[in-house]
Amino acid sequence: MWRADVLKGHLDGLILAVLEAQPLHGYAVIEELKARSGGQLALPEGTVYPALHRLEAAGLLSSAWSDGSRRRRVYRLTRSGRRELVRRRKDWHSFSATIGAVLA
Amino acid sequence: MTSPDRRSATYRDELARELAAVGIGGGLRRRILAEVADHLECDPDATLGSPDALARQFADELGTARTRRAVWTAFAALALAGLLVLAAFLTSGPVGLFAQHGRFPITTVTYVGAVLLVVGGQVAFAAGMLALLGSWSRGRGRLLTHSEALILQRRTGVAIACALISLVGLALLGLGRPHLGSHAWVIFTVAGAGVGAAGLLASVPALVAALRVQPAASGETGDVIEDLGPLAPPVLQGHPWWFALLVTGGVGLGVALLGAAASDPYDGILRGLLESAMCLGGFILLGPFLGLWSRHPAATTTT
């Protein structure tokens, strides 16, 4: 299981990635992170909410209250958020390939 | 043993207090509490962290984002104001905004206007650039400390205030020197000052929002050399006064040469010396407030 300090610097990219397919509320974002990582990402759940707010302040996410019976803030990627995700994916592939080449 | 509902309510009450303590209130606090309530309803055993740690993390994240936004918003408004001043200057005719004109001596109004425009404009430009550099050199993805955010907010505030003063000066010049251009030029100059001021005032809410939520993290601010980041030559590292003297000398020399070319050498030298004195005086007077040459003491956390 990966600890929070290892994930530092990658949280924004991870959040953008899980919101790529569909809009989600905060709890669902955390559940999706766990599900996609096979339970390997041990994020303190509280850290995700400030990050969601920051990404929204940066214009990478937008949010709105859901229409359902339950009052939930649902986040979705903006166009800038999609561009940022593409950039982060590219950076990550480049970085991991470089490190991989050295470690191999 | 307390029920999940009771634990959730207690957690939310404590979080509400801690959010208020770091300056997060109103609709934003209600929204955070609603999100946390929903989370705890989904998973009553969720580990959201201690309320004070979560509130401080919100303060760090939002304080940083708001401060950076305030800096950029103000800089955009400053750029607009600068362009309007430049346009007024370029369209003022062959005599120029400040020069003495034979039949139209400089009046008190135009003299005051010129001083406000020149001094206000220069301080606004310097403070705005320093705010921008300070934000840029501290990395887009990095959280600001409390003292770093405070310095950037001060620079932004000084830049906006001085730019407004400068635009008052421009309007006074426009009203006081109608002979420099057509009637349309006077209208353009005064209206331009108004548009520039409106732009600057529109940037104030972003600064107010930043002032309300301050990052809680402690740490030192650095000095003007750290603001310059990789732009600063290694020899200047740790020597903000050398940098100040270099800038002062460079600006003074530039103004002296331009003044000498435009009028006479003695006048040019006098203007250069005056400009140098203003530059160094600004560095001395505003330096500690704007974090230029004294290392700001590490701030204590707000909890």
CB–CB of B38 and A27 under 8 A? yes
pLDDT in tens, B15-56: 999 999 998 989 999 999 999 999 999 888 888 889 999 999
**Which residues does chain B have with pLDDT short of 50?**
296-303
CB–CB of A44 and B42 under 8 A? no
For residues B19 and B25, is the Cβ–Cβ distance under 8 A?
yes
Report pLDDT for B95: 53
Residue ranges and CATH numbers for the domains of chain A are 4-103 (1.10.10.10)
Instruction: Give the C-alpha separation, A9 to B148, whole Å.
Output: 20
CB < 8 Å to A44, chain B: 47-49
pLDDT in tens, A15-38: 999 999 999 999 999 999 989 988
Instruction: Give the C-alpha separation, A55 to A43, whole Å.
Output: 17
CB–CB of B62 and A45 under 8 A? no
CB–CB of A57 and B66 under 8 A? yes
Partner A contacted by B61 (CB < 8 A)? yes
Question: For residue B206, what is the nearest residue in chain A, using CA coordinates?
Answer: A57
Report pLDDT for B290: 83
Report pLDDT for B222: 76
* Ramachandran quadrant class, B44 (left: phi over 0; alpha: psi -120 to 50; beta: rest): alpha
Cα of B107 to nearest chain A Cα, Å: 49
Instruction: Give the C-alpha separation, B208 to B160, whole Å.
Output: 12
Chain B 138-177, residues with CB within 8 Å of chain A CB atoms:
141
Report pLDDT for B102: 54
What is the model's pTM?
Answer: 0.81
Report pLDDT for B79: 96
Report pLDDT for B296: 47
Task: Report the b/e string of B81-92 with b at 16+ CB within 10 A.
Answer: bbebbeebeeeb
